[in-house]
Amino acid sequence: MDVYCIDTSSLIEMKDRYPIDVFVDLLPKMESLIKDRRLIAPIEVKREIERGDDELKRWIKGKKKLFVRPDMRQIKKVKEILRDYPFLAKSGEVAASNADPWLIALAIVRNEEEQEKLFSDIKHVVVTEESRINPQKIPTVCRNYNIECINLLEFFRRLGWKFRIHKEDKL
């Protein structure tokens, strides 16, 4: 079973490219994953959203199960990630205000914890819209840590989500 660690960029993409007046089933599907703790994000994603988009701010309000506060293992992993990949600390920002290293650390640490368990089939996958081509982005760092990284459309496909126009809707 996969658990998805979602980036701010994918939540923005969801809002911008998949509007709820057209994709009426999208938010209930996302909320079901959140309820089941199969869709998570570091608390820093919440902080990024709170600095910007009003529509997303409204949507995340009350979604406590979506956001994960870091534990000591994640804090140590963020320090390691930033030591090896300092480009993840955006220029002029402190690591605490940039979700990227926290997103990656969440997936790494959660996967390590699952590997420590007997018979666990849970894998944490990063969902981001960042380019795989640019070497200074989340997908490159994930690849170097053996963390699977997909975009929002791949996430929908993996879950088998299909969005159809209802019979009563006309073109």
Give CA separation, 125 vs 53, 59, 93, 145, 149, in Å. 25, 22, 26, 12, 6
Cα–Cα distance for residue pair 54/42, rounded to 1 Å: 19
Q: What is the pLDDT of residue 46?
A: 94
Going from N- to C-terminal start, the domains of the chain cover: 2-159
Residues with Cβ within 8 Å of 162's Cβ and at least 6 positions away in sequence, in order, are: none
Cα–Cα distance for residue pair 59/62, rounded to 1 Å: 8
- Which three-class secondary structure state does DSSP give residue 82? helix
Residues with Cβ within 8 Å of 63's Cβ and at least 6 positions away in sequence, in order, are: 31, 34
- Which three-class secondary structure state does DSSP give residue 4? strand
- Is the CB of residue 45 less than 8 Å from the CB of residue 60? no
Q: Quote the pTM value.
A: 0.88
CATH code, 2-159: 3.40.50.1010
Q: What is the pLDDT of residue 167?
A: 53
Amino acid at 150: I
Question: Between β-strands 67-68 and 39-42, what pairing exists: parallel, antiparallel or unpaired?
Answer: parallel
Q: What is the pLDDT of residue 133?
A: 63
- Is the CB of residue 149 less than 8 Å from the CB of residue 143? yes
Per-residue pLDDT of the chain (171 residues; tens, 9 = 90+): 999 999 999 999 999 998 888 888 899 999 999 999 999 999 999 999 998 868 889 989 889 999 999 999 999 999 999 999 988 876 554 444 589 999 999 999 999 999 888 788 899 999 999 876 666 689 999 999 999 999 999 999 999 998 876 555 554
What's the chain's length in residues?
171
User: Sign of dihedral through CA atoms 69, 106, 17, 166?
Assistant: negative
What does residue 41 show for φ and ψ, rounded to 5 degrees? -155, 150
